[in-house]
Amino acid sequence: MGMEKKLILDMDTGIDDAMAIAYALGSGKAELIGVTCSFGNVTNETAVRNTLDLLSLLGAPEIPVCRGAERAIGAESFTVSKGCMDVHGENGVGNVTLPHRGTPCDTAAADFILEAAEKYGQNLILVPTGTLTNLAAAIRKDSETVRKIGRIVFMGGALTVAGNVTPYAEANIWNDPEAAKIVLESGIPMTMVGLDVTLKTLLTRDIAESWAEMGEAGRALSEMVCYYIQHEYEALGCALHDPLAVGIALDPELAQTHPFAMTAVTKGEAAGRTIAHSFPHQCVNPSVQVALEVEPFAALFNETITGLFKRLMETA
């Protein structure tokens, strides 16, 4: 494709992650060079399966998909919560049956990220939209190489609003607070796209329904997103959590941010909370730009993914 900017998505492939893949492929602003998988909405195994199937559905079966962390740091296992199954369906993609295609690559997620950081440096954009476990593993292995990445924008956390799993915690941080702490305290510059802004970007059911006549990909995404809307905020629509992180990564001017020195609470009632340091000596490096305001995004999102559906129909 020859685009200068390269993009890696790192995700727990549920429905809004699927929308983020479609947005990334439709935008034409960076070349999607790989998807690394974590866990959360689904297990790592299912995230890999869903990603392979979605990339194939969306006309990009050649993009490598890497296995990643299967559980949180220090945890013995991971089980998908009932809440996630309700919102994303038992298979993570709204119980829509996708044809199984492709196999994962041999490189583990953290190594894939490090190799790409070395190769593309400032031209690489990394967007985690699941737990931060793979990024934490890459930082633990070689933080200087992670520093070479041009832009890191993650979906997760909530600074000014309540969480969506507990009053304190947003799901991606809740699923691995230790990883979030490592990433947030690394001092590596990054942008946090949390519930502070994603809840301001609702996609309505009529938009999702309008994709149903747009070929195989449009039909599948329409069915998934209608399922998501029904099980998330029903009357209002669904929040574009993960697509917004990709949107801001590709067009930073979509968000207004403020720099903070952030951490994550790892234990107790507030586990999973993302919070700014309060002591001056801990605030010397406010490396996390927290998105606090966002431009309207649903129309741009819709235009971008319907453009992709139309191109796929023309080449079918």
Q: Which is nearer to ligand RIB, 113 or 239 (CB)?
A: 239
Candidate list 6, 7, 9, 12; residue touching ligand RIB; CB under 6 A:
12
Question: What is the rounded CA–CA span in Å between residue 27 and residue 308?
Answer: 8
Cα-based angle 28, 293, 236 (whole degrees, multiple of 5): 80
CB-CB neighbours of 268 under 10 Å? 8
Q: Binding to ligand RIB (CB under 6 A): which residues in 240-269? A: 241-242
The label of the residue with tokens 């669904």 reads 238
Lay out the site mask for ligand RIB across 78-117 (x = CB under 6 A, - = otherwise): ----------------------------------------
- The token pair at 39 is 């866990």
Orientation of helix 109-120 relative to helix 133-146, angle to 10°: 30
CB 92 within 8 A of CB 101: no
The DSSP code for 213 is G
Q: Which is nearer to Ca ion, 193 or 261 (CB)?
A: 193
Q: Which stretch binds Ca ion (CB under 5 A): 115-123, 124-132, 194-202, 210-218?
A: 124-132
**Nearest distance from residue 280's CB to ligand RIB, in Å?**
31
Question: What is the rounded CA–CA span in Å between residue 138 and residue 82?
Answer: 30
The DSSP code for 282 is G
Question: What is the rounded CA–CA span in Å between residue 147 and residue 114?
Answer: 10
- The secondary structure element, H or E, covering residue 34 is strand 31-37
Candidate list 47, 171, 193, 291; residue touching ligand RIB; CB under 6 A:
171
For residue 164, state whether it binds ligand RIB (rule: CB under 6 A). Answer: yes
For residue 36, state whether it binds Ca ion (rule: CB under 5 A). Answer: no
Question: What is the rounded CA–CA span in Å between residue 203 and residue 52?
Answer: 25
Q: Which stretch binds Ca ion (CB under 5 A): 6-14, 103-111, 143-151, 173-181?
A: 6-14
Q: Which is nearer to ligand RIB, 40 or 177 (CB)?
A: 40
Rg (CA), the chain: 18
**Nearest distance from residue 121's CB to ligand RIB, in Å?**
27
Active site residues: 12, 241
What is the distance of C-alpha 95 from the center of its chain? 20
For residue 172, state whether it binds ligand RIB (rule: CB under 6 A). Answer: yes
Q: Binding to Ca ion (CB under 5 A): which residues in 126-145? A: 129-130
For residue 17, state whether it binds ligand RIB (rule: CB under 6 A). Answer: yes
- The token pair at 134 is 């793979």
Q: Which stretch binds ligand RIB (CB under 6 A): 50-58, 66-74, 117-125, 170-178?
A: 170-178
According to DSSP H, which parts of 165-204 are helical? 171-174, 177-184, 195-198
For residue 176, state whether it binds Ca ion (rule: CB under 5 A). Answer: no
Give the residue nearest to ligand RIB (CB): 171
The label of the residue with tokens 């195994």 reads 45
Question: What is the rounded CA–CA span in Å between residue 135 and residue 314?
Answer: 37
**Nearest distance from residue 31's CB to ligand RIB, in Å?**
23
3 state SS of 68: coil
Q: Which is nearer to ligand RIB, 17 or 196 (CB)?
A: 17
**Nearest distance from residue 55's CB to Ca ion, in Å?**
16
Candidate list 92, 130, 243, 272; residue touching ligand RIB; CB under 6 A:
130
Kindly list the residues in this chain that would bind Ca ion in the complex (CB under 5 A). 12, 17, 129-130, 242
Kindly list the residues in this chain that would bind ligand RIB in the complex (CB under 6 A). 12, 14, 16-17, 40-41, 129-130, 155, 164, 170-172, 241-242
